Amino acid sequence: FLEFRLRIFPLLLGALQTEQDIVNAQSLFGVIRLACSLAAHYERQQEQTYAVIRQDPAAEYLSHAVILICDKGTNDSQLFLAALDTLISIVTDPICQLPIDIWKNVLKRLCTFIDIQLHRSPKDHTREMHSTCVATYNTLITLIIERPILLDDYENLFKLCEIIELGISGEKAQSFDGLVFKKDKEFHPASQRVAEAAQYLMFVLFEHKAVLHLKNDICRNWLDESTFENLMTSSSFKYFAINGNTLFAMKELPHNVNNGMPAIILLCRGLFGKNVWTLNFRHDPILNPPIQIHKSNERIMNENEKAPSPRITHVNNDQKDKLLTTHGTKNERTKSELSIPTLSSIIKRDEEKLNLFRALKVKQIPIEEQAIQRAHISDEKLFSECKPPERQKHFESIRLFLSHYGFCSLDSMDFLMNAKQWNDSKSFNRFQSQIQLLDSNAENFMDDIKNLDKISPTLYCTGQIYYLKKNQNTLLESFSNLKTLEQLNPAFLKMVSQFGSVVEVKHHCGWTGNVETSWKTVSLTQSNTYSKTKTFADINGHDSILYWADLTTEMAFYLPHHFSMDNQSSEMRILIVWLEDFHDDLDSVLPEQSSKLRDISIIGIHPLKNHLFRISLNSTAQRIQSACASIPLIDGMVLPIHILSFFLRQSVHSLSRRKRLEDSQSSQTAYSLRKTRITKIIEKYQNRTDNLDEFFQNIFFLSTPTTKTTKQTTHAESTTQSNSIINVQS
């Protein structure tokens, strides 16, 4: 096999370099993808057998093939879409581990492709060209998710930020014409689709962590207001619209939740989904608490030694530093946060300035010590003992959050009061936070919020699985086969079991294959409930499904008990059909009534006598917009059992992704639908007011009477607001 690989790879690369026919080139993409996976599996078997890591001679060919595929389709949009599907298929394969330098090169070439396309003359901008740019942005998203180490390189991060800026605004800040400042930049993106794809890349870039908890992240995103109804608090959720495209739902937590400090729950609904956070306010940094306590106590002891007055010493001894415990678990840092320069690097860079500061500090210390001594000698008058103010038990936590993040600044209030007269010519005004209060008590408000939550920004796919025995010609004859599993091919049972994890529909918070039962709020106890063992008959789409997910995709597989004619959903119907008898025309297995239905892709699997499996595709599955949409599967391909399930799942993903890209040319994307729904909610429920006092009265909860003196109140407020830090918990 080693000798065969060393011969076949140069032939494939040579054919791909010289091939001019688009259809043949796409077939070569699929063959190279298959060769890549087979070679990786062979090497893994050799390592497990001989326990020796050998240098794979085919790895160099595969690396060269990836770069060649990346460059092959740059002159043809349909060929380039197939190339992107091939790259996604390779990078998501855990077995095919190519050097990180190869993927860095791919990232650079994809960024260059977007840069060149978006800088073309206006007459060259077509829907197809914009579709390739959108697909390239999505490929970059998959690339940084699967290879997060790419974000550790400053050059990669800079290139990603450049094309994000180019996609959103239409131009880069650093261009050949000079530096363009943000306040002077005019926004003219190539198209709304391109801008949304760039924004989604930016969203993933800032959210992505090197350590992923997929199930927890998905279930967290489908929490809503009903999840927090049992909290011991009298306050209700307050709703705000931020910048016209984001909805905030905020609720204050009891003061005993965060060790007496203010805390809120924030539900953020934006263009790319929903996030739920707990925000805790604190005064001291959370890093190395024992060290902080030791330093604080040491500072107090030093001050006591210097102070000759027992009265002052007594006051200092009464002060006790308390460690503020955090509420919940520590939030993981995203990869983009790691790009921020460390303090040690800044110290090395500005060492001369620091030396000057140290010299000034050395001169200043004795001057201040002498001033303190003179003050103690001349101060013979005894003052009454200072008592600390009473600890605050009531905080306007929402006010603190809005003010700390700049949503209640004077400029934001100016926009709130004078939105109609807002001068758009002032470019700087675009960057001011714009806040509006929403009336959550209005009729149908929560219904509109729930309808917004039903619009999922992720790609959701569904695969329906059928088994046709010998002499069975249509899918209608296959439903009784699941009752006798012992008569089915064991390879079929193994294939189905590898599609995903079995989950119950009623206890599942993600995609279930049906819009009506998907994306519902499920309590933590329900999501952790382990049901009894499910049979294949139970995985019918109503009781249970096979579920698989990553950060951008949710997939559901099930074995239906009937063939539905309902085709109101825009989602492509993908059928995975096991064929004991080979069928030349896969469309013939559909019921006669389904001939009127569009967008039905069929993937046929026929077992051969040599224990391999032949793949057949109907015309819809083979080509969408004259491009091969089923990569890594190609019509006529023969696969072994150990990669069959993985290739089928990737093919379902590719077909669904291409269908969504095709629909985005003629209809709104999920991001546009969410933006439209958010805009309608703001227009319908915004609390219009011309009085700032009335606006703040509607926001804040002044439930405790102010009985303190003005001096004490001022001191308490300064103590509360000074050196405050916001700790965000997911």
Give the DSSP letter string of 673-694.
HHHHHHHHHHHHHB---S-HHH
Task: List the domain boundaries for the chain.
Answer: 2-208, 291-321, 458-663
- Between CA 611 and CA 471 the distance in angstroms is 21
What's the distance, CA 630 to chain centroid?
25
- Between CA 317 and CA 322 the distance in angstroms is 14
- 128 sits in which H/E element: helix 127-146
> Does 729 score more than 80 pLDDT?
no
According to the CATH classification, is domain 458-663 in 3.40.50.11210?
yes
Per-residue pLDDT averaged across 589-596, rounded? 71
In tens, the pLDDT along 10-37 reads: 888 889 888 888 888 888 999 999 988 8
> Does 651 score more than 90 pLDDT?
yes
> Does 156 score more than 70 pLDDT?
yes
Kindly tell me the burial class for residue 358, based on how many C-beta atoms sit within 10 Å of its own C-beta (0-12, 13-18, 19 or more): exposed
Report yes or no: 693 and 294 within 8 Å, Cβ to Cβ. no
Position 711 scores a pLDDT of 39
What is the pLDDT confidence band of residue 285, given thresholds at 50, 70 and 90? Answer: low
> Does 362 score more than 90 pLDDT?
yes
Per-residue pLDDT averaged across 164-183, rounded? 80
CA-CA-CA-CA dihedral for 652, 654, 657, 660, to nearest 10: -80
In tens, the pLDDT along 609-639 reads: 999 999 998 877 666 555 577 888 988 899 9
The mean pLDDT of the chain is 77
Position 142 scores a pLDDT of 93
Distances in Å between the alpha carbon of 439 and those of 56, 221, 234, 242? 65, 24, 18, 14
Position 467 scores a pLDDT of 93
Q: Which of 364, 386, 389 is nearest to 309 (CA)?
A: 386
- 695 sits in which H/E element: helix 692-699
- Between CA 264 and CA 324 the distance in angstroms is 17
Of residues 461 and 395, more confidence is placed in 461
Return left, alpha or beta for 691; rule: phi > 0 is left, psi -120 to 50 is alpha, else beta: beta
- Between CA 189 and CA 194 the distance in angstroms is 7
Report yes or no: 644 and 613 within 8 Å, Cβ to Cβ. yes
Position 316 scores a pLDDT of 36
Percent composition of the chain: helix, strand, coil (DSSP 3-state, to 5): 50, 15, 35
Among residues of the chain, what percentage have pLDDT more than 70? 73
> Does 558 score more than 90 pLDDT?
yes
Per-residue pLDDT averaged across 359-374, rounded? 90
In tens, the pLDDT along 432-443 reads: 567 888 888 888
> Does 647 score more than 80 pLDDT?
yes
Per-residue pLDDT averaged across 429-458, rounded? 82
- Six-digit token string for 96: 């095919």
What is the pLDDT confidence band of residue 721, given thresholds at 50, 70 and 90? Answer: very low
What is the pLDDT confidence band of residue 595, given thresholds at 50, 70 and 90? Answer: low
> Does 296 score more than 80 pLDDT?
no
> Does 291 score more than 50 pLDDT?
no
Span between the terminal Cα atoms of the chain, in Å: 50
Which pTM value belongs to this model?
0.79
- Between CA 34 and CA 636 the distance in angstroms is 13
